[in-house]
Chains A and B, each alone.
Chain A
Amino acid sequence: MTLQFAIHGPATREVIRDGFQDALPEVLTVNRRLQVLAFQTMKLLPALAVINDLERRGLLQAGGTVADTTSGSWGYGVARVCAVKKFRCILVSDKAMNGDFLGGVESHGAEVIVVDAPVDGANLQVIRKQRLNEVAAATGAVVLDQYENLVAAEAYRAAAEIAIGHVPRIDALVAPIGSGSSSRGLTHYLRSVNPGLRLIAVDTFASALFGLKVGPRRLRGVGSSLVPGNVHHQAIDDVHFVSADVAHEGVLRIAEAGLGDYGPTSGAAFMVANAVSLAEPDATVMCIFPDRQFRYVDLIAAHRAQRATLLHGMPAAPIWVTRLAHAVEARGWVAFNWRRRTRDEALALEGDTP
């Protein structure tokens, strides 16, 4: 079933016209059958589209205030767009946003409220959302709501144009899933050319997205403790659960392939894409690299230091499981045939409570 978008997402030329050329990805070639759609900062594209949409609908006036919860590149994207469009930007985040990255966001004029981890073990994302609601009520800010806003998915039209403009036929898309927007948008547009395109989702262990038990996650950028509305489970063919170590190994392999310095999310996607390409040698595989490495330099350096040890026992390929209950972190890399089911359908068949 294809997604019915309410409006057209922005075309490439419209993104360039708005002055955000660096929001657009480039296509990197690993080999004839494996290509990469590589972003500098993926969330710049949806941030621009969401704020443009609010302006178009008259919900955001000149000099207005926007707010959202984020611990990652969404905040950076929103701050960049607000700086250009002269909106006040308030971001509710947690300790994951720190150091140079926090400084980078604040340098664009954003006000960042950092929420401490709850001592009672409550879900941090829930706490952040509560704080966001308080801030919005106090300031009258418009909440962007990246997780539920379909415009954030439609924003990837421009990226899909670039992908198709380089690779006319894409048989499989390997997409890390966080908010669900990029995979949803890209798949929608790419399937208009090839309805048979297979969407391979990349998640991590202890993530709620595909029904695993929620817990602390070492790998940042994929996975979530909540299930965002933009995650379109019915579009997904397979899901791979990747550990932080496998993802960090992927980062090193990206660099060794001469593609550049990308983050752990890209590393996870690269490992999965290579596996898919090996398993389906006739298919053209497109893999998404969401952002660069600069936030994660220490993590990658640590992995490199222990690489020989970590490689010992690291799976070279995914372990396919038939039950989600068997997707445990100790296995390092697990794949599950999702078969375009809703989350409820998939978990009901598992005998679990969704």
Chain B
Amino acid sequence: MPIEHLDPGSPPPEGVVVELVGHGFVSAARDNSIRLAHAPSKAVVFANEPAAIGFLATHAPLVLQRIPLKFHPRSFEGGCGMNSRALLSRPTTDTATGAPAPSRSSVVRDVRSLEQALRADGKTPPWTPPEFAAWRAPLPASMTFHTPRCAKARRESHIGEKVQGATSLRNGWPKTLADHRVVASDADPAVPFLVDLPAPCLYTEATCSITPGSGQINVHPQGRSKAAAAVRLALQVFGLAGRVDVELTLTSNIRSARGNGGSSTDIGATLDVVARALGCELQGALVDFLTVATERASNPSYRGPGIFLQRAGVMPWQWPSWPGMRILGLDDSRAPDVVTDAMKRPRYSREQIDAFDFMLRGLIAAVQSGDVAAIGHLMERSAEINEEFLPRNFAGGLAALREIRKQCGSAGVAVSHSGTVAALVWPTDADDVDQKVERATHALRECGYDTFWNYTLH
């Protein structure tokens, strides 16, 4: 059920049409609904939260138009590729008066510099602070539902990545992704990317109930602060922040800090379940947008095969399916955890970025032609490069995995580029694949690995 039906007495939330230089998505308001479509430079964004206004002012050089829009969450489509961390930053204005908040963040600084620039140019910024309050949708007098709205959602995860690195924008990716660049070169920026190795056997299930209230959010088990942040963000998007209470329960078979994408899977499941409870469905691009906002990066497993720019939340290349692959995932439970948030971002050299560019071209061709041997070769090359940034110092390291790969006729080794898990891969139509997997499992056990996931990917 569309959310505006929950509160027929209140005016719909408002949105703005903004120009986001090259962030890769456009919007058009049609019949009072919101529609996002692929085209450069423009977007409709809900802007009824001060932090969102600050974010827009930071990232959009010019707010083109402010128009009233009814909120149809189902109509979200298309790409959504911006750095949305600012959505989680502290409010840039006092929520009651609209005046600038006393805390000084970069968002505020950018808003001001933008405002000064526009005024110097003889223009009046449409987002000046006094308007913030006007843009806020008024709180409804009452909610129309009388029983909790409940839902359940499930998100699957991955075992590390086939390839992960940074790709040059010279490859034809949108230039505006330079906001996420990892090389300090205006002439030749590069952005982080990954191609994951999905694992349907690893998942998070989320259940939630939403009731009218004052904004209380309870997450079970306790300590899942990112999931709580995701709930807050989802409520902001639906214009329900501070109006409802949420009870969220997460059940997961993913061990965190191993490279299985546990926290981003939690966040994905959380966003799904909140949306579902409200009778909505979030499109992938918006989920990526919100996940990046919550934890700086996202996890593309649910979006199917593709090259994913995880810091931007954009999937600029997709394949219809993976070639048939038999996967033997593995982990050494005694190996020390890898806390992704504490890891320094890899600083890839120009030579390495060149290598990744070529590897992506190779991967595109290999997946299209169903060449699992070539995919395996590229996976292993990526693992080799990653040794410089996160060496595998346990269970014989990458060398032992490669040796077992050779002995067992596997196509290649994939590793988690920010974790301890890894995987061996075979084409599903390889001769005696079951025996090879069994032999590899035995050899890996002798090597010290004690956790395995044996499955087929299509």
Chain A residues, CB < 8 A from B350 = 8
Q: How far is the CA of A2 from the CA of B354 in the complex (A)?
A: 13
A189: chain B residues at CB < 8 Å are 354, 358
- How many inter-chain residue pairs (CB < 8 Å) link A and B? 59
For residue B85, CB closer than 8 A to chain A, the reply is no
Q: Does the CB pair A193–B351 fall under 8 Å? A: no
Query: B354 near A164 (CB under 8 angstroms)?
Result: no
Pick the contact of A192 from B168, B354, B371 — CB < 8 Å? B354
A164-B362, A167-B365 as given contacts; A194 in contact with B354, CB under 8 Å: no
Q: Which of B349-396 contact A (CB under 8 A)?
A: 350-351, 354-355, 357-359, 361-366, 371, 373-375, 377-378, 381
Q: What's the nearest-Cβ distance from chain B to residue A40, in Å? A: 22
Q: Check A165–B362 contact: CB distance below 8 A.
A: yes
- In the assembled complex, the CB of B170 is this many whole angstroms from the nearest CB of chain A, namely 5
B221 at the A/B interface (Cβ < 8 Å)? Answer: no
Question: Provided the pairs A161-B358, A193-B358, A193-B362 are in contact, do residues A168 and B171 lie with their beta carbons within 8 angstroms?
Answer: no
A192–B374 CB distance below 8 A: no
* CB <8 Å contact, B188 and A8: yes
List the A side residues contacting B171 at CB < 8 Å: 11
Q: Shortest Cβ distance from B173 into chain A, in angstroms?
A: 11
In the complex, whether B172 has a CB less than 8 A from a CB of chain A is yes
Q: Is the CB of B381 within 8 A of A194?
A: yes
- Among residues 1 to 33 in chain A, which have CB atoms less than 8 Å away from a CB atom of chain B? 2, 4, 8, 11, 13-14
Judged by a CB distance under 8 angstroms, whether A331 is at the interface is no
Q: Chain B: how many interface residues by the 8 Å CB criterion?
A: 25
Bound-state Cα–Cα, A230 to B357, Å: 24
Instruction: Establish whether residues B188 and A192, one from each chain, have CB atoms under 8 Å apart when the complex forms.
Output: no
Q: Which of B38-93 contact A (CB under 8 A)?
A: none
Q: How far, in Å, is B109 (CB) from chain A's closest CB?
A: 34
Supply 7 A–B pairs (Cβ within 8 Å), ascending by A: A11-B171, A160-B358, A168-B361, A168-B362, A168-B377, A169-B362, A169-B378
Given A165-B365, A189-B358, 20 extra CB contacts under 8 A: A8-B188, A11-B171, A13-B170, A13-B172, A160-B358, A161-B361, A164-B358, A164-B361, A164-B365, A168-B361, A168-B366, A168-B377, A169-B378, A189-B354, A192-B358, A193-B358, A193-B359, A193-B381, A194-B377, A195-B381
Interface residues of B (CB under 8 A from A): 168, 170-172, 188, 350-351, 354-355, 357-359, 361-366, 371, 373-375, 377-378, 381
Interface residues of A (CB under 8 A from B): 2, 4, 8, 11, 13-14, 160-161, 164-169, 189-190, 192-195
